[in-house]
Structure 1
Amino acid sequence: METKSCIVEGKINRYFDKNGVELFDGDDVMLNGEIQRLYLTEDGNLGTDATNPVLIASGLAVVGEYGIYPLEYTDITDMENIEKI
């Protein structure tokens, strides 16, 4: 099965999960057996939070404080969009 992973239209990147569902900033996805939220970076890419969740839970850091890991092709081909809880 061929997957549309990332389509660049001008300066806008469009991302699609393994089922062809378009992904957006704020979407929750299943990735590597965990639910993760997607964030839009300043350069127009989607990614996941790089901040240690233990630091966030303890109040020592906030979401995105240590950056965003940009999505890789292998992430997208295994990723599935889930409904927001």
Structure 2
Amino acid sequence: MDVLLFVNTHIKSLAFDFLTLKLIPHESTIFSHKGRHLSRTETMGIVLSIDFKPNRFIKFNIDDCTNCIPCIWINQETSSHFSHQI
């Protein structure tokens, strides 16, 4: 199945879908779920907890009533994780 086939396609996903995504070998930003390839997705839910580290990251958990998704938002301007890419 061609990965480009699903570019700019919106697919509804729930928390339990996110938790079962599998990374495509040799592709750092593409995941597989039920035979579909995904590179980006959105979710909506209630933020249950927040761990804020100024100028580094924000860790939070989102609950959509099917499960809880652990998330991290990295500050790309100041994080050392991205310093090698600049």
Q: Normalised by the shorter chain, which TM-score bucket?
A: under 0.3
Normalised TM-score (structure 1)? 0.22
Normalised TM-score (structure 2)? 0.22
> Which of structures 1 and 2 has the larger relative contact order (alpha carbons within 8 angstroms, sep 6+)?
1
